Structure 1
Amino acid sequence: MSDTPVYPDPADAPGAQANDAALSLEQQFAELQAKHAEVSDAYLRAKAEAENTRRRSEEEVSKARKFAVESFADSLLPVKDSLEAAIATHVSQPDAPAATVLEGVHATLRQLSAALERNKVLEINPSAGTRFDPHHHQAISMIPADQEPNTVVGVLQKGYLIADRILRPALVTVAAPK
């Protein structure tokens, strides 16, 4: 008989466990490579999607900036039409009464005011005695007046707000301290 032991189960043979371990490591390695490929693919897809989203957002912002005044311009067109009609009327009827011209100017001003209001451009026109507010008013001068100091005496030029943001402060004269 030979001196080599006989193992009833080949898994019990010396080296079989090493072979199983090597096969197991190779299998794990193959699984990890597959997982890595899957994760790399998902990463590349997510990166491409993020880039596409960024590009679309930039295009939308660009379009929004480009056409932001569209509504505002549309509401000003009737005002322009009225002014052009007034000029055409004056050319065809140079001796038109001043009252008629003034009436047309007032109607055009109402159109302009309505267009500004529709687009959230609001007047700043403080009445006399209103407390001076440096956020909404710009003092041109201080004059002696029979009212509280640091209050508006008169408005030299109206100011305007767009929503809650100052477009132009109202130019005012302010009562000087006594």
Structure 2
Amino acid sequence: MANPRDEDFLDDIEAMEAAEAEAAEADPTPEEIISSLEAERDEYKDRFMRALADAENSRKRADKDRREAQAYGGTRIARDLIPVYDNLNRALNAAKDSEGQASAALTEGVELTLKELLTVFDRHGVKRIVPEVGDRFDPQMHEAMFEAPLPGTKAGDIIQVSAEGFMLYDRLLRPAQVGVSSMSG
């Protein structure tokens, strides 16, 4: 007959062997640990590279926005000054039409003011669009105020310039206002 203590001892040994077998299955091998760490490293590297690319794109976008704000930040004031230019031009034309010495002084003052305004426009990238009678109508730069048949012109020719246009660098502030021929031949 077997001793009950021997049976308990055998049960304990079997339990220990089972626990060791489980532990061996649960403990990853060094190769598995290395593989897991490499996968984790690669994931972090990928995240880092994406974050770096996002930061670079944000920097480039901010730089572009800064350059545009610097170049085109004066758009509103330039648009507000265009009617001043128009009024000075009308005053100059009216003063040239009238006669007298007071008119000559007024004409000279308006001419100097207009010249200074054009200098300021030039300094800030505002350029005039000055079409001539006979030029071709360009819908990107001109606004047709009317269309009329005029003998000796081709359809699409400018027959009258009502107002000059203006650009701020490469952006249209106001198209030149023109009359266009509708006659062919």
Q: Which deviations, in whole Å up to 9, do the C-alpha atoms of 1:111-139 show, x marking residues without a partner? A: 22233334443322222222223332222
- Separation of aligned partners in 2, 1:164 and 1:51: 30
Q: Which deviations, in whole Å up to 9, do the C-alpha atoms of 1:18-39 show, x marking residues without a partner? A: xxxx9xx812112202212322
Counterpart check, 1:140 vs 2:145: yes
Sequence identity (%): 25
The residue that corresponds to 2:48 in the other structure is: 45
The residue that corresponds to 1:26 in the other structure is: 29
The residue that corresponds to 1:174 in the other structure is: 180
Q: 1:147 to 1:115 in 2, by over 3 A?
A: farther
What is the TM-score with the length of structure 1 in the denominator?
A: 0.56
Q: Which among 135, 148, 159 is matched to residue 153 of structure 1?
A: 159
Q: 1:147 to 1:128 in 2, by over 3 A?
A: farther
- Separation of aligned partners in 2, 1:144 and 1:65: 43
- Separation of aligned partners in 2, 1:39 and 1:117: 55
Question: How many residues are aligned here?
Answer: 133
What is the TM-score with the length of structure 2 in the denominator?
A: 0.54
- Separation of aligned partners in 1, 2:136 and 2:40: 70
Query: What amino acid is the match of 1:27?
Result: P
Name the one with the larger helix percent: 2
The residue that corresponds to 2:86 in the other structure is: none
Q: Root-mean-square deviation (CA), in Å?
A: 3.4
- Separation of aligned partners in 2, 1:139 and 1:52: 47
The alignment partner of 2:167 has SS state of strand
- Is the Cα contact below 8 Å between 1:145 and 1:175 reproduced in 2? yes
Q: Which deviations, in whole Å up to 9, do the C-alpha atoms of 1:81-124 show, x marking residues without a partner? A: xxxxxxxxxxxxxxxx5544432322222222233334443322
The residue that corresponds to 1:112 in the other structure is: 117
- Is the Cα contact below 8 Å between 1:144 and 1:176 reproduced in 2? yes
- Separation of aligned partners in 2, 1:59 and 1:136: 30
- Separation of aligned partners in 2, 1:63 and 1:139: 35
